[in-house]
Amino acid sequence: MITAIIQARVGSTRLPNKIFYPLLSKPIIWHVYNRLLDSKYIENIIIATTRNVGDDKLFEWCNNNKINVFRGNENNVLKRYYEAALKNNASIIVRITSDDPFKDINIIDKVIKQLIDNNLDFSFNNSPPTFPEGLDVEVFKFKSLKKAYLNASSNFEKEHVTQYFFKKRNLFKMMNLKYHINYSFLRLTVDCIEDYNLSKKLYKTLESKELEFNFDNILSIYKNDPDLFLINKNVERSDMYKKNEKN
């Protein structure tokens, strides 16, 4: 079964509770989940959160919205993915992060198709990145996830799930999906208040499309008003994204 696993927790160093910040009156996590529903390939969607009391709110929200939810280890996200995938009989896993409300299902499906058509162990679009941060997607087979889970040793590999794949490239058949122009300097994720302020403006502009907008629509906004994207231009990228830029 092709399963999207959304890693999510309420705690956040820079912007606590951000997944419940509203965009067009609905929380970010709602948009992340619902934007996956139109996939041609995804058969199951799971929100994988932690066992911390602080994430009871997310657990209850999932139950109230009839969303499949799994609770696991907070810091060892790799273990959380493995256990969630195992419990739900996932054969192919689509890794999604809960603070990315601009995910494009067309891009996600291309990465899934790339894995299937080329019989890959790991398919992705972020190493090196050409899409904006927040439009990245990683897809891998359960056997690859199991190998990473059993062999990853560093805290960095356990926290970021797929870093063992990149570290041990010789052990996996993998491929990167590239965009024809490099837009990796744009940020379409929500790590801090600057990101959220940009997201609100973009969602307001795209309100008529809501769940149907895609990367092309965002690019049209960027080309017409590039200054808008200066709002979060100086936000420091995540350690994982900076690492992938070097791969």
- Residue 152's alpha-carbon distances to 78, 97, 133, 176, in angstroms, are 9, 20, 25, 22
Nearest to 188 by CA among 161, 210, 162, 214: 214
Task: Tell whether pTM > 0.85.
Answer: yes
| Sign of torsion over alpha carbons 201, 133, 189, 102 | positive
Residue 67 backbone zone (phi > 0: left; psi -120 to 50: alpha; other: beta): beta
- Rounded mean pLDDT of the chain? 93
Please give the angle made by the CA atoms of 6, 7 and 10, to the nearest 5 degrees: 120
Residue range 71-81, pLDDT digits in tens: 999 889 999 99
Give the model's pLDDT for residue 243.
Answer: 55
Nearest to 244 by CA among 94, 153, 130: 130
Domain coordinates in residue numbering, the chain: 2-245
Give the model's pLDDT for residue 196.
Answer: 97
Q: How confident is the model at residue 14 (pLDDT cuts 50, 70, 90)?
A: confident
Specify which residues 95 forms β-bridges with.
5, 138
Which tokens go with 237?
């990228």
- How far is 159 from 141, CA to CA, in rounded Å? 19
Backbone angles phi, psi at 131, to 5 degrees: -90, 160
> Is a pLDDT exceeding 60 seen at residue 57?
yes
Please give the angle made by the CA atoms of 93, 98 and 104, to the nearest 5 degrees: 70
- Residue 162's alpha-carbon distances to 40, 129, 218, in angstroms, are 24, 15, 27
Give the model's pLDDT for residue 240.
Answer: 55
DSSP 228: G
Residue range 195-221, pLDDT digits in tens: 999 999 999 999 988 789 999 999 999
Which tokens go with 154?
């560093």
Placement of tokens 């894995």 in the chain: 115
- How far is 225 from 229, CA to CA, in rounded Å? 8
- How far is 192 from 210, CA to CA, in rounded Å? 22
User: What's the topology of domain 2-245?
Assistant: Spore Coat Polysaccharide Biosynthesis Protein SpsA; Chain A (3.90.550)
